[in-house]
Structure 1
Amino acid sequence: MKNYLQWLIKGLAMGAADVVPGVSGGTLAFILGIYERLLAAISAVNMTAVKLLLRGRLPALWQHIDGTFLVCLLSGILLSIFSLANLIGYLLEHRPVPLWAFFIGLILASLPVLLRSVRWSVLRLVLCGTGVLFALAIGMLAPVQLEPAPYMFFLAGAVAICAMILPGISGAFILLILGMYGPVMLAVTELQLGIIALFALGCAVGLLSFSKLLNWLLKHFHDATLALLIGVVIGALYRIWPWQHNQQMLSPWQYQQQIANHDLLLALCSLLAGMVLITLLMNLDRLFNRGGPQRV
């Protein structure tokens, strides 16, 4: 039961991140130590799983795909998305600076742990730098505006989910670039079930395809892949800098002069809150299993 609650809480954190254009649920999964298990579970939805299903071996199928872990995590993600979509939309419009500062706090507090997870070499440092440059390039892309046709929700889901499970690249930001963020959020808040189903189908196709590639890379080039992913997470800090306008980074004082109130004190409090929260989330195992052996 303790593990189930941990996974649900981590799913809630991932879902909250996925709603924000610029933050990735994959980043939270990576930071919280469930990324590799998540990829392995998704990749297990394969022909072996289909054969187990056709033979009626449901308990074996459930174990093969790590079903309990996936259901708990997905429940947390969906609960978070549907409950926080309006709140985060409001904060993005009226209080963006503290919101971005909160997510920067999440990343900054987790970086020392991530950096210690890799045995560094020159090649891995180069890969980390490549990840930084890749994330910066994605972050500099300009959003577009369009009137989406129904099939575009399927394509948007397939592309965005790949970004969503890639640490440092926001699926919501990719939707923004494609001009699909507003239509997708409108469909969620107004419960347009047909549109949501098309988007979800695209997500399923993209997720099953891309997760297999990432899972293979982690199995065969573990530390090199981690180094690249850490670089992507570091590069994502550019996209979520709290004081920016038209993708230009400003100082808090420039922001106040040119755009709006810099909310500096509130931003610092939010950054600290993000650091405290991610520290607690990264130590859920210890908090839940205090006095006993940790279970995975």
Structure 2
Amino acid sequence: MVRLRPGRQHGERRTDPMRRWLGNTLRGVCMGAADVVPGVSGGTIALILGIYPRLIDAVGGLGTGLLRRVWSRSFWHLLGAGAKDPRRLPGDGAGQDAGRVLFLAFLAAGIAPAIAAGARILPPLLSLYPAQMRGLFLGLVLASVTVPLRAMRSGGPSRWLLGIAAAVATAWFVGLPQPTSERATGRVLLEFAEPAAAEVRLTPQNLTLLAPGDGSRPELAFKPVGAAAAPAGSTGIEVDVIAGMVGAAGNVPPGSIRVVEGPVGELSVSQPEALSGGRDPSLAYLLLGGVLAISAMALPGISGSFVLLLLGLYHYVLYTLSLAIYHQDGGAILTAGALAAAMAAGLLSVARVLKGMFARWHDPTLAVLVGLMLGSLRKLWPFTRYTEEGREVAVLPPLGDPEVVAVTLLFVAGVGAVLVLGAAGRRRSRQDSNLGARG
């Protein structure tokens, strides 16, 4: 005889069963929207929404026993019954596995479309407003450091030394030059509608060139390799450009770059020669990035998208997802599928290792995470330029640069958003603790 789970627990609201599952889907939308933004952790959102413990339990509970049950017709009957009413699931191992699968499935039904929408919305913002977006991400990541700091149970010199060592090592690592051979480079000609009345200074911060999307690919962005100056009276200037992301997609044919956003009102661009030198990252490196990103997403305060950004894969992954979802490109679909498989494997394996590390070395692990986050801030400095070799380096903004105000405002907005979300999460945790104590 199959025993059914008890219905309503003490303190639990009476809700329609399907509304519970749909509520998980809406929570998944919030998590997916957070996961696609560097600096916002889907784990933090799960903590705020009150599902983080169940999420960790669901992922940690998946194993070989579930794989055996998937081939059983009775298990699929359990899934169907549980989807209609989770209270109909029995309390044995099969019922618990069915509950975990349904929980993760409805959660994924919200995460996936949110990430797909982000893959279309974010790339244009990153292309047209790179400094402003970096300012936002800098604020998000800096404020997120408070999450692991608050979770530490005790301080001590050894903890701080671990954090400092991790910060120094990370700052050194993210400062290493990325291979420029993976980005397409070339030259374009900019022409002014009228002779320049004064010197026109063009930089990676104030000049963006676009190859508009078509039916086969999304829009691509390019930046000047370094600063260039057109003297007063000139009618045009040749500019060396570099693709905004790694990958062979940047090797666009002549005439592809047709849109320019710059400091001069009427500015036109022509591309006489094809860009070249762009090369896709290796599949092994991409899969490793996926494993590391999904492992980070499982931790409150650590953003998986930020991990991809540190590895130089963030823009490439967004482009690949957009190419697969909105342009049905076969190669992109295969790449996205392989990445999804790697992330699933990472969630089931590396996430368990991290869970064990937290159980055994809670505070030292958190101290290292704090150091990683602080050291990685070097990667998010909003103001940069490219050297003649194509390497991106941080610089101080020119005096009176109008972008400084916008960057500062977005930085403050990022800090405020994380602090508000963190306060909401702590309030939710206290409410759950009080409810459990009364139960």
Alignment of 1:162-181 (within 5 A): 162-166=292-296, 167=302, 170-173=306-309, 176=312, 181=317
Q: How many residues align?
A: 283
Q: Residue 135 of structure 2 contacts residue 410 of structure 2 at CA under 8 Å; is this kept in 1?
A: yes
1:61 aligned residue (86, 97, 100): 97
**What corresponds to 2:131 in structure 1?**
97
**What corresponds to 2:149 in structure 1?**
115
Which deviates more from structure 2 when the two are superposed, residues 226-235 or residues 182-191?
Answer: 182-191
Quickly say closer, same or farther: Cα 1:72–1:10, change in 2 above 3 A: farther
Distance in structure 1 (CA, Å) of the matches to 2:164 and 2:125: 32
Quickly say closer, same or farther: Cα 1:180–1:209, change in 2 above 3 A: farther
1:129 aligned residue (164, 168, 189): 164
1:266 aligned residue (403, 406, 416): 406
Q: TM-score, normalised by structure 2?
A: 0.53
Secondary structure of 2:145 counterpart: helix
1:15 aligned residue (35, 56, 69): 35
Distance in structure 2 (CA, Å) of the matches to 1:40 and 1:217: 16
Task: Give the number of the structure with larger relative contact order, counting CA–CA contacts within 8 Å between residues 6 or more apart.
Answer: 1
Quickly say closer, same or farther: Cα 1:174–1:293, change in 2 above 3 A: closer
Distance in structure 2 (CA, Å) of the matches to 1:209 and 1:175: 21
Aligned AA for 1:233? Answer: M
**What corresponds to 2:343 in structure 1?**
203
* TM superposition shift of 1:161: 2.9
Q: TM-score, normalised by structure 1?
A: 0.75
Distance in structure 2 (CA, Å) of the matches to 1:5 and 1:110: 25
Which of the pair is proportionally richer in strand? 2
Quickly say closer, same or farther: Cα 1:10–1:184, change in 2 above 3 A: closer
Q: Residue 98 of structure 1 contacts residue 263 of structure 1 at CA under 8 Å; is this kept in 2?
A: yes
Aligned AA for 1:47? Answer: T
* TM superposition shift of 1:232: 1.0
Distance in structure 1 (CA, Å) of the matches to 2:45 and 2:60: 20
The CA RMSD over aligned residues, in Å, is: 4.0
Distance in structure 2 (CA, Å) of the matches to 1:276 and 1:14: 15
Q: Quote the sequence identity (%).
A: 19
Quickly say closer, same or farther: Cα 1:211–1:67, change in 2 above 3 A: farther
**What corresponds to 1:252 in structure 2?**
397
Structure 2 unaligned runs (5+)? 1-19, 76-92, 183-246, 250-278, 297-301, 386-390
**What corresponds to 1:42 in structure 2?**
59
Q: Residue 161 of structure 1 contacts residue 207 of structure 1 at CA under 8 Å; is this kept in 2?
A: yes
* TM superposition shift of 1:105: 1.8
Structure 1 unaligned runs (5+)? 18-22
Larger Rg: 2
Which of the pair is proportionally richer in helix? 1
